[in-house]
Amino acid sequence: MSGPGRYYNRLLVVWRSTAVDDGAGGEETTLVEQPNPVWAKVDQPSPTERLVAQQSESNHSHDVFMWPTADVRRGDELRGVDGLGNAQKFRVLSVVQPSRPVYSKALVELIQSEGE
């Protein structure tokens, strides 16, 4: 395999915020697992990206690279397991593509539960 896909070594499940009926005539928002997980590569951002994130008060902690056709959007949550078998959750801050879309890059924030 050539191109960036040869580096996509993690399967991440996409969870999306969705409005559901609350049974009393209103709606509430909940995260719903999407049917298509995405193959991805999770990296830490470069020093320059970290500096820009700090200056803009962003919580950008990782970059997630995936196929340009991956259905991942701002506000989604990506869930998977790292190389050590630890569960990880990432909140998508934004998704960008280069001018020639050979990959998508999601800027994400690692969400850690208490005690992790």
For residue range 60-89, list pLDDT tens digits in order: 889 999 999 999 999 999 999 988 888 999
Give the C-alpha separation, 44 to 114, whole Å: 22
CATH 3.40.50.300 fits 4-111, yes or no: no
Find the radius of gyration of the CA atoms of the chain.
15
What pLDDT is attached to residue 116? 53
Give the C-alpha separation, 75 to 29, whole Å: 12
What is the DSSP track for 12-78?
A: EEEEEEEEEE-SSSSEEEEEEE-S--EEEEEEPPPHHHHHHHHHTT----EEEEE-TT----TT-EE
Q: What is the pTM of this model?
A: 0.83
What pLDDT is attached to residue 97? 92
What pLDDT is attached to residue 79? 96
Question: Domain extents for the chain?
Answer: 4-111
pLDDT less than 50: residues of the chain = none
